[in-house]
Amino acid sequence: MIVKDEFLSKLRRYFNLNLYEVKIWAALLSRGVSTAGELSDIANVPRSRSYDVLESLEKKGFVVMKLGKPIKYIAVPPTEVVERVKKNVRKDAEESVKRLENLKETDVLQELTSLHNNGVELIEPSELSGSLRGRHNLYNHLEMTIKNAEKSVDIMTTDQGFVRKTESLLPVFEELSKRGVKIRIAAPYSDSSEKLAKEVSKYADVKNSPSRGRFAVVDGKEVVFMVTDDKEVHPSYDIGIWVNTPFFASTLTDMFDHSWNNMKPSIELDK
């Protein structure tokens, strides 16, 4: 059996299988029904491992063991395998989320929080800084920083950044608004963002910015800013910096205030 390594690598990524599993599975698909010994020879997998591999594939729903002697294995149709894998992934994800939710009620989280709080007390605020790689990590950290706001959140972003932030952070803006946190968002206005601007204006002041910046200041002391243009960088290579420094944050806030006073509302909104 000749199967390209590239194809086997794709199978491993899509179905979360190891190398022996994808080799045995591909070999069985090419035969339909076969014994462990035959599959071992075809797939070039050690015979001593083929039985363990087939047992693993059987548990995962990729193959069915045929009754009778000698023991043979039947390949499950790939379309059915996809559905089974989806079901298993969904089930595993739900169980993982449930375990993490239950963790909130245990002493483990309290101990972890205590360790973190004790550690933070030993650190100078100016040392609380770090780089963030990948837009997914950037937005996760941005959400965490904004959620802890007590007084204010100032955001300057791009037209596409406004769309992304509104879609991902709208529930956070709503919660902050209920707590009395003042939120200001400056972004270049575009027709595509009109609907979102109306939605987010329920919880924040939104103005049309003539410039394109990418930063957020929280409570005048924490800053998250991006160092690349989102139009020119792939999301996976987006880079941001998080710093906890009132001096730098207050300077950015002053600049934001000056620009904010010269901006117009991004859209006439009825509040």
Q: What is the pLDDT along the chain (271 residues), one digit of tens a residue?
A: 567 888 888 889 889 999 999 999 999 999 889 999 999 999 999 998 999 999 999 989 999 988 778 889 999 999 999 999 999 889 889 999 888 888 877 777 777 777 756 654 544 555 556 888 899 888 998 998 999 899 999 999 998 899 999 888 999 999 999 999 999 999 987 777 778 888 899 999 999 888 888 999 999 989 999 988 988 889 989 999 988 888 888 889 998 998 898 887 755 544 4
Q: Tokens 């300057």 belong to which residue? A: 156
Cβ contacts of residue 105 below 8 Å, gap of 6+?
Answer: none
Say what the pLDDT of residue 2 is.
60
DSSP category for residue 77:
P
**How far are the Cα atoms of 82, 89, 97, 152 from residue 92, in angstroms, in the given order?**
15, 5, 9, 39
Tell me whether residue 106 is in a domain.
no
Residue of 24, 59, 29, 69 whose CA lies nearest to 45:
24
Using CA atoms, how far apart are residues 129 and 140, in angstroms rounded to an integer? Answer: 15
- The CA dihedral of 166, 171, 173, 174, to the nearest 10 degrees, is 130
Residue of 220, 205, 225, 223 whose CA lies nearest to 161:
225
Q: For residue 158, what are the domain limits?
A: 128-265
Cβ contacts of residue 241 below 8 Å, gap of 6+?
Answer: 129, 130, 131, 132, 223, 224, 225, 226, 227
Say what the pLDDT of residue 248 is.
85
Tell me whether residue 118 is in a domain.
no
**Domain at 12, CATH number:** 1.10.10.10
Same domain, 248 and 159: yes
**How many CA atoms lie less than 13 Å away from 29 in the CB half-sphere?**
17
The amino acid at residue 192 is S
Tell me whether residue 24 is in a domain.
yes
Same domain, 141 and 244: yes
The amino acid at residue 157 is T
Same domain, 237 and 139: yes
Residue where one domain finishes, among candidates 61, 83, 105: 83
Question: Alpha helices of the chain — where are they, by DSSP H?
Answer: 5-15, 19-31, 36-43, 47-60, 78-103, 107-121, 135-147, 159-178, 194-200, 246-261
Say what the pLDDT of residue 99 is.
86
Same domain, 181 and 69: no
Give yes or no for a cis peptide into 70 (omega within 30° of 0): yes
The amino acid at residue 245 is T
Same domain, 226 and 170: yes
Using CA atoms, how far apart are residues 93 and 44, in angstroms rounded to an integer? Answer: 34
Tell me whether residue 40 is in a domain.
yes
Cβ contacts of residue 10 below 8 Å, gap of 6+?
Answer: none
Using CA atoms, how far apart are residues 35 and 74, in angstroms rounded to an integer? Answer: 9
Tell me whether residue 90 is in a domain.
no
Query: pTM to 2 decimals?
Result: 0.58
Question: How many domains are contained in the chain?
Answer: 2
**Domain at 172, CATH number:** 3.30.870.10
Q: Residue 205's Cα: distance from chain center in Å?
A: 27
Residue of 181, 125, 177 whose CA lies nearest to 153:
181
Same domain, 179 and 246: yes
Same domain, 64 and 172: no
Same domain, 74 and 136: no
Same domain, 134 and 79: no
